[in-house]
């Protein structure tokens, strides 16, 4: 293979991986997780996993966000805001688990609207995903990195 062709092949194989990690759009829908042995976590499983856990994600705008769930239901979120203002920020937040097993978050950003959502958490052989519903195959899923505490 000629050097230029090899560079082009390398570029095409690396770009999709970089784009997924930085893309604002979700990488999958619920049905795409079927080959990854998905298991939707129950309220009890989430109560074991989430206190003290560090959560990282890329939001729908493309900003990397992270926080560590406090045992008291609070956290301080940080965002790199790379897809919006480019200036990192922090904000207070709260989390809880609903009786029907959804992980809920409220982040009170200072310079933008508050962020509030509840999601089912799906554990797979590839990590964790969050979705509004795990029952609809076309529902978008978002990758969550969950480390620490109950893991």
Cα–Cα distance between 55 and 151 in angstroms, integer? 11
Domain hosting residue 144, numbered range: 25-148
**pTM across the whole model:** 0.79
Residue 7: inside a domain: no
Here the CATH number for the domain that contains residue 134 is 2.40.128
Residue 16: inside a domain: no
Residue 10: inside a domain: no
CB-based burial label for 112 (10 Å; 0-12, 13-18, 19+): middle
Rounded to 5°, angle at Cα 40 from 34 and 46: 150
Residue 32: inside a domain: yes
Check: CB of residue 141 under 8 Å from CB of residue 26: yes
The number of folded domains in the chain is 1
Cα–Cα distance between 140 and 102 in angstroms, integer? 16
- Return per-residue pLDDT of the chain as tens, 151 residues: 444 333 333 333 333 333 334 443 445 899 999 999 999 999 999 999 999 999 999 988 899 999 999 999 999 999 999 988 889 999 999 999 999 999 999 999 998 899 999 999 999 999 999 999 999 999 999 999 999 866 5
Residue 4: inside a domain: no
């Amino acid at each position: 293979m000629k050097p230029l062709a090899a560079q082009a092949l390398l570029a095409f194989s690396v770009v999709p991986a970089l784009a997924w990690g930085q893309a604002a759009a979700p990488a999958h829908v619920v049905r795409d997780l079927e080959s990854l042995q998905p298991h939707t976590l129950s309220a009890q499983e989430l109560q074991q996993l989430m206190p003290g856990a560090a959560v990282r994600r890329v939001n729908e705008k493309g900003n990397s966000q992270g926080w560590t769930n406090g045992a008291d239901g609070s956290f301080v979120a940080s965002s790199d805001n790379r897809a919006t203002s480019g200036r990192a920020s922090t904000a207070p937040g709260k989390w809880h688990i609903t009786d029907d097993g959804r992980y809920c978050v409220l982040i009170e950003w200072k310079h933008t609207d508050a962020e509030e959502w509840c999601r089912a958490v799906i554990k797979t052989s590839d990590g964790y995903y969050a979705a509004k519903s795990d029952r609809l195959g076309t529902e978008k899923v978002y990758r969550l990195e969950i480390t620490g505490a109950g893991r």
